[in-house]
Amino acid sequence: METKKKLPIGIEFFSDIRTKGFYYVDKTAFIRDLLASWGSVNLFTRPRRFGKSLNMDMLKTFFEIGTEPALFDGLEIAKDTVLCEQYMGKYPVISISLKDVSGPSYESALKRMSSAIRKEARRHQYLLDSDRLRDVDKETLNVLYSLYLEEEVQEESLYILSEMLHKHYGKKVIILIDEYDVPLDKAYQRNYYSQMVNHIRVMFSEALKTNVNLEFAVITGCLRIAKESIFTGLNNFKVRTISDVDFAEYFGFTDIEVREILHYYGIEETYNKMKEWYDGYQFGQTEMYCPWDVLHQCKEYGEIET
């Protein structure tokens, strides 16, 4: 009897899905379409649990210098050999998630923000040994390794890291920011919204506005925060919400993808029930299912390993 792939419930790392025997719904054509129509800054807003974090990690894995090309073998993007030759593994990448930046006060949220930034800075600590950075560069960079990053340091942090990566590699940097709206939502609930929105506005302005080290940026979140509050003055800023036709099929599962999943696990008879319960979203003109719901129901119906 054939051993079926495991259901990727809660798996957010692309390499884990590709190397540890998980089922993968191929969304790599997202890379092709992003490159075909990208702006300097690209914002995608989708509901929770629609695969935003996995897509962001997939982008990081594809673009980052030192990636393993075999992770994309057999996937849609691998068919475009010219694009892969030009872009795969060719860029330094800054990838940060703000999903845990919250707290009962602004000060406590800043501590969580500091932790998120330091985590990404540590991933690039090889820069401290770079022979392409001057001593003054390394002194500036060292600030990002402090036990706590002060408010002003946080606001400059993504720019500083992008500048040092650009100098080290001689290549402009891709910046990925996942769950950008979580700190703002939590701040609104805890009555320190004005402080947090100003903090993130300055941070984004430093990193994304007239940053000569930036190739492009992708930002995800659940909420569309008013452009005037966060993204003021950004050039070539593109927003893709659930009402947009472009990129509609890349977050969540399409009807065809759900049918393929059910067929793979031998539970096709559950399709009508699955459609009745979970086919409640329309992105652009495409009917979409929440991956979290579909995968959990597959587990329940098919007693499938996760």
Q: What is the pLDDT of residue 124?
A: 98
Strand order in the sheet with 281-283: 253-254, 286-289, 281-283
Rounded CA gap, 55 and 21, in Å? Answer: 18
Rounded CA gap, 34 and 246, in Å? Answer: 10
Chain segment 121-152, per-residue pLDDT in tens: 999 999 999 999 999 999 999 999 999 999 99
**pLDDT over 70 for what percent of the chain?**
94
Q: What is the pLDDT of residue 206?
A: 93
Q: What is the pLDDT of residue 125?
A: 96
Chain segment 162-217, per-residue pLDDT in tens: 999 999 999 999 999 999 999 999 999 999 999 999 999 999 999 999 899 999 99
Residue 152 near residue 168 (C-beta atoms within 8 A): no
Instruction: Quickly list DSSP for 129-196.
Output: G-TTS-HHHHHHHHGGGSSS--HHHHHHHHHHHHHHHHHHHSS-EEEEEESTTHHHHHHHHHT-HHHH
Q: Could you say which DSSP state residue 119 is in?
A: H
Q: How many other CB atoms are found less than 10 A from the CB of residue 234? A: 19
Q: What is the pLDDT of residue 2?
A: 67
Q: What is the pLDDT of residue 284?
A: 74
Extract the tokens encoding 133. Answer: 């950075």
pTM of the model: 0.94
Q: Could you say which DSSP state residue 296 is in?
A: H
pLDDT means over runs of 10, the chain (306 residues): 83 95 96 91 89 96 97 98 98 97 97 97 97 96 95 98 98 97 94 94 92 96 69 79 80 93 91 77 81 87 62
What are the phi and psi torsion angles at 302 (to 5°)? -110, 0
Q: What is the pLDDT of residue 232?
A: 75
Q: How many other CB atoms are found less than 10 A from the CB of residue 137? A: 18
What are the phi and psi torsion angles at 239 (to 5°)? -115, 130
Q: What is the rounded radius of gyration, in angstroms, for the C-alpha atoms of the chain?
A: 20
Residue 168 near residue 127 (C-beta atoms within 8 A): yes
